[in-house]
Amino acid sequence: MGELLILAGAVVGLYVVWQLFYTDVTAAREQQEVLETLDWAYTGEIEAEEPGDAAEPAGPLVIADADKQSPDTAPVMEEPEFRTTFATLYVPRWGTDYVKPISEGVTRREVLDVLGIGHYPGTGMPGELGNFAISAHRTTYGKPFNRIAELEHGDALVVQTQEAWYVYRVTDDSIVLPHQVEVIAPVPGQPGAAPDGHYITLTTCHPMFSAAERFIVHGELEYWAPVGDAVPAEILEEVSQP
Amino acid sequence: MIFPWVWRVLPGPAWVRLVILLLVITAVVGVLFQWVFPWFSVTFDIQETNVEAAP
């Protein structure tokens, strides 16, 4: 009997090691590999130039104000097939090196546990009139949304697809219960209402290491620009890191 | 007792038994990490991040 308890203890201990450490290692590697297969995704220099570093080659071109397009004219891609990676997310608040792939679907085994950020099927696509709703782990499995609580109102959330850059700004955050699906409605908080804006919604678990509640961040589209030589100034923005 | 019994039924000299034991432990941990733990985590909703309609 005592030996069985020792074995059971070892298995429980192994589970903790697996959940807290091993999933992070494998999922982070998987997500990096996915990113490298996207030949259109911008993974180049996303660190601001050092001031007075004139000898160094200049950083990437920045999208000029004149090239920033109104949300009303934003191109909207078709919803891709389940598990297809169709966009990348840049969040300067989480470091200038933060870039994660976004894939279709929000099931654990197929998308969130391996590919990282998932897009709620049936919600808007990037730039669409409505609500582009995405979900990801806050702890374990590469934890794409680990630092969601640090986001402040006005922070940039930048989405890139093969065609365009979309720059969203955080408008509000909240903590809700898991069944409150109205947060991903076309108009957040008003299920059934006709879409009146270009929203983005991030959902993840709350508190950390628990599944009791959900941490929600909403944002609105500020501008979009076609993918070209230039990148949005926002992703070069150096936000002081804790 | 289980541990002494396992040691008895394994064939060969001590070092062969040790190698066999290590291989078996590695295989068991592999199966747990690859299939059992992912199944457990998903089935019992540990680390859930989505909002969804109440069942």
- 137-166 of A, contacting B, C-beta below 8 A: 137-141, 145
Beta-strand ranges (E) seen in B1-55 are: none
Q: Do B51 and A109 touch (CB under 8 A)?
A: no
**Average confidence (pLDDT) over B3-30:** 92
User: Do the domain assignments include residue A70?
Assistant: yes
Total domain count for chain A? 1
Residue A30 tokens, joined? 């998987």
CA geometry: angle at A196 spanning A193 and A197, to 5°?
130
Q: Judge whether A122 lies within some domain.
A: yes
Greater confidence, A85 or A97? A85
Report the CATH number at residue A221: 2.40.260.10
Inform me whether the C-beta atom of residue B3 falls under 8 Å from chain A C-beta atoms: yes
Cis before A207 (ω within 30) = yes
Shortest Cα–Cα distance, A22 to chain B (Å):
8
- Provide the ipTM: 0.85
Residue A54 falls inside a structural domain: no
Tell me the pTM. 0.87
Inter-CA distances, A143 with A14, A116, A161, A192, Å: 20, 8, 22, 32
Q: A115 lies in a domain?
A: yes
Domain assignment of residue A53, yes or no: no
Domain that holds residue A88: 2-47+59-236
SS3 (DSSP) at A2: helix
B6: nearest CA in chain A? A3
How far apart CA B47 and CA A102 sit, in angstroms, is: 19
Whether A52 maps to a domain, the answer reads no
Question: Does a structural domain hold residue A87?
Answer: yes
**Shortest Cα–Cα distance, B8 to chain A (Å):** 16
Chain A residue at shortest CA distance from B38: A109
Residue A201 has pLDDT above 90, yes or no: yes
